[in-house]
Amino acid sequence: MNDKKERFKRLATKRTNTILQKIKVLGNCSNRQIYDYTEEQINSIFFVIERKVKEAKAKFHFSKEDKFKL
């Protein structure tokens, strides 16, 4: 049991830090002197990101089994 906890902590920490780094890099695209973009493009990017975050979070809160029961 402890191995599962340690594996989760190790992988979750590594993957979270990777995501945070990628978000930081994405933020570099905000420099208007280098890039040109519309508000619509920004909204599209963050809509997809926020949706995927909600989907990932839901996996931690809901049962993984979809069993029918009367």
10-residue stretch averages of pLDDT, the chain, 70 residues long: 93 97 97 97 98 95 73
Say what the pLDDT of residue 24 is. 97
Question: Which 8-state DSSP code applies to residue 29?
Answer: G
Q: Do residues 35 and 29 make contact, with C-beta atoms less than 8 angstroms apart?
A: yes
What's the pTM? Answer: 0.78
Domain range for 17 is 2-55
The two three-digit tokens of residue 24, written as one number:
């930081």
Say what the pLDDT of residue 63 is. 66
Say what the pLDDT of residue 68 is. 73
Examine residue 36 and state whether it is found in any structural domain, yes or no: yes
Examine residue 67 and state whether it is found in any structural domain, yes or no: no
Say what the pLDDT of residue 65 is. 67
Examine residue 70 and state whether it is found in any structural domain, yes or no: no
- The one-letter amino acid at 35: Y
Q: Do residues 37 and 29 make contact, with C-beta atoms less than 8 angstroms apart?
A: yes
Examine residue 31 and state whether it is found in any structural domain, yes or no: yes
Count: domains in the chain: 1
Instruction: Measure the CA–CA gap between 67 and 63, rounded to whole angstroms.
Output: 10
